[in-house]
Amino acid sequence: MLPIKYGIQRALIGGAAALFLFGVYWLISQRFDPQALLDSWPVLAVVTAIGGFVGWFASVVWPRPNDEIHEASGHRNRPRWQDRLRLGVLSSSLRWLKTSTALRRWLKPDGGEFKGGSLYSLVHPEDVNDVDRAFLAASLNKARFQARCRIALTAAQHRHVLLKVRPLTDATGRVVRYLVRVADATGQARVEQNFKKQMSLAQERLVQLEQDLARLKESYRDLYHNAPVMYFSLDVQGKLVTVNDTLLRTLGYEREEVMGRSFTLMWSEGAKERPTAAAQVREWETHWRKRDGAQLNVWIRTVPLADDAGRFVRLRGAALDLTDRSRLAIELLARGDELERTNARLRQINTELEDFSYVVSHDLKEPLRTLQAYSHLLAEDFSSQLGPDGFQYINHMIQASRRLGELIDDLLKLSQAGRIKGAPQEFDLIEVVATVRNDLVGLIQQKEATVLTEGSLPALSGDQQRIAQLLANLVANALKYNRNPAPKVVIGQVSGPLPASAPVDVDHRHAVIYVRDNGIGIDPKHHQQIFGIFRRLHQTDEFEGTGAGLAICQKIVQAHGGKIWVESQAGQGATFYFTLPRPPQLHQQLTPPASARQENRSEDLTATRQTSPGTRAPSGGQAKPLVLLVEDQEDIGVIIQRLGERSGLQIVRFASAEEAWQYLQTNEPDLLLLDINLPGMNGIALCRNVRQELHRANVPIVLFSPEENPAELEKLWNAGATHILSKDLLSEPAVWQERIGAILKQGVRAAGGL
């Protein structure tokens, strides 16, 4: 009945309101004529009906809220839209008596009824105790309260709510009902959960930071006390305030023995400087005294500390024990002095060895040359009288003397191969290969062989002359020990990985060069033996040579800090590998010196130069050309005179340069033959005097020297020599006579000769 009654009331109110408003409008429009108002009663009836219908329709659209809820809330005149609030009434036993439509729809979206049900049936089980305690406190205090809980919508879904509760009492003051307003607290709960989570993470982070700080403190403490440096601090009175364990261990004190004691406790009597409270950083070296009285050599650095007012409060210092370092420095200095003396002795020994090698080769080869020359003269002059056996004996003697000369030459080369003259120079290996081809052109043509390069050859750093000697020996061996009808030698650089049997690991600072041939090969059991001095695998009648070539190669490679080895099988050719240093800067092109380009390694005629633009031919008016010979060796002098007489020359011989100098004051020979090594004035000085003091610019001068070093040859050219001959040429008298005759016919050769 309540809705029908409510609708009739709203219809009557609407009709009366419409009648009143229309009547006022009509009177105004009719200028307040009552008769006109009465005459329009049909219109008034229609307007009244329309107003009543509108009032009834409004009661349907906005139904009247539950009166009981309104009465309980104390808002009897609450408008109808308030029924949309989530309100409810609970009994004293917390069972629902009344609920608003909005609350029912919010808590029971499926349309289910919960009137008469318990509040606890909706509350999450974990929140029941909190809600129960809140309502119990409200029943005792009769005061309003708020409670947070979770409402279970379904078995898997719940909603956070805020219960705003006001207890309702009867006349006796007993709580009989509870007016409840339910608010959504899901967002707030989510914020609180995130806040709690962040707080939990922050607490965990704080605990982690505290643990890290504790470890850092312990690490700092361990570093401070166990550092290899002695740390200490002094107060304004110079007393020890803090010290680390390193200082205690070094000096042998216990901590209680030094704390609060004056810093003079550890100062040696001979200490020159002591720390002061100066407001500046200081560093110095002094001596400390250990507990047992031993002295330490220490380095100290102190830093003053001041307070906010700028007053000095503490001196912080660090000390480093230099005792062992000082002792080692003294020992190193002594060792350095000893090493310097040893190096001086080694330099002296090396110089003596060089002199010894030269003297030995000179003194051994002088009688050998005499033996060879007389053997040739004997064979030429008395071969018919000696008979077949005697002539064969002479041939054996000539061959043996020639092998002995080769052995002496190889010994001299071996002694020089391990020494690099001057600083390492940068050069391209392809230039060295070209030089080797030119030097061995006769052997290459004789063997009808091919010498090739494979790929690009690198730039190297070292002694270019020694490297040329190294390649020449390897290529000559490859051609000599080769029975292939088409001998072939290949020179190249290893760009990929080395063979597994390689004895070295090569880095980017070294290049690996190989020389490969198709010769007779080497049995692997002899790979190490072949690098020994005078080690031969074949008889001399099979292959010529002394067996020193590979030993010289090894010396040259080792002098450059490299390694040399061979990969070969018998009958399958051989490949020699060796490592040489690359230049510090990448492949800088260098032009070899002129003396190196003009070098000639022939053992007979070494070089020829021009000393004057003019030329001088032998005197045409004389029956015999006049030759001045300066030679202190009697046998060599006799041989040269004998060969000169056979060639139709008039030879005047002197044993010293001083005698020859006196002779040259009044005579002008057609040719001068000068030995370099003479008693008193040597041949170089005599040659220089002839050019500079006697001004004999056109006379050809021959110096006897086996030298092949371009720098040494340059000295001979600068002295004024036009030709350089080796006395080894005397072992072949016919060749000697031919060379002397060519020099006399040519006079002074044009510049640019060999």
The residue segments making up the domain with residue 343 are: 325-415
CATH number where 98 lies: 3.30.450.20
The total domain count for the chain is 6
**One domain for residues 437 and 585:** yes
Worst-scoring range by mean pLDDT, 152-156, 293-297, 591-595? Answer: 591-595
Q: What gap in Å lies between CA 76 and CA 74, rounded to an integer?
A: 6
Give the position of tokens 């509108």.
54
**One domain for residues 541 and 435:** yes
DSSP 8-state assignment for residue 84? G
- What integer best gives the mean pLDDT of the chain? 77
As separate numbers, helices (DSSP H) first and strands (DSSP E) second, the chain gives: 20, 23
Is 195 contained in some domain? Answer: no
List the structure tokens of 320. 């480093």
Secondary structure class of 738 (helix, strand, coil): helix
Closest alpha carbon to 636 in 677, 689, 671: 677
CATH number where 720 lies: 3.40.50.2300
Q: What gap in Å lies between CA 473 and CA 179, rounded to an integer?
A: 119
Is 224 contained in some domain? Answer: no
**One domain for residues 573 and 689:** no
**One domain for residues 337 and 362:** yes
Q: How many residues does the chain have?
A: 754
Phi, then psi, of 200 in degrees rounded to 5: -65, -45
**One domain for residues 521 and 580:** yes
Is 585 contained in some domain? Answer: yes
Dump pLDDT digits (tens) for 690-747.
Answer: 888 887 878 899 998 876 667 778 888 888 888 888 877 777 788 888 888 888 887 6
> Is the pLDDT confidence value at 60 over 70?
no
Q: Could you say which of 568, 592, 616 is where a domain stops? A: 592
**One domain for residues 447 and 580:** yes
**One domain for residues 86 and 27:** no
Check residue 500 and give its pLDDT: 62
Query: Which secondary structure element, helix H or strand E, spans residue 318, and what is its range?
Result: strand 312-321
Q: Could you say which of 569, 592, 615 is where a domain stops? A: 592
**One domain for residues 241 and 131:** no
- What's the pTM? 0.39
**One domain for residues 308 and 348:** no
Check residue 333 and give its pLDDT: 85
**One domain for residues 404 and 545:** no
List the structure tokens of 226. 């166990």
**One domain for residues 390 and 469:** no
Is 383 contained in some domain? Answer: yes
Q: What gap in Å lies between CA 657 and CA 661, rounded to an integer?
A: 6
Worst-scoring range by mean pLDDT, 213-227, 253-267, 618-632? Answer: 618-632
**One domain for residues 526 and 611:** no
Q: Would the CA dihedral through 644, 650, 656, 660 be positive or negative?
A: negative
Secondary structure class of 142 (helix, strand, coil): coil
CATH number where 568 lies: 3.30.565.10
Dump pLDDT digits (tens) for 659-693.
Answer: 888 899 888 898 999 988 888 888 888 898 888 88
CATH number where 378 lies: 1.10.287
Residues 533-540: what's their mean pLDDT?
A: 52
DSSP 8-state assignment for residue 66? P
Is 481 contained in some domain? Answer: yes
Q: Could you say which of 369, 390, 415 is where a domain stops? A: 415
- Residues near 602 by Cβ (< 8 Å), separated by ≥ 6? none
Phi, then psi, of 654 in degrees rounded to 5: -130, 150
Is 202 contained in some domain? Answer: no
Which residues in 36-60 are b (16+ Cβ under 10 Å) and which e?
ebeeeeeebeebbeebbebbbebbe
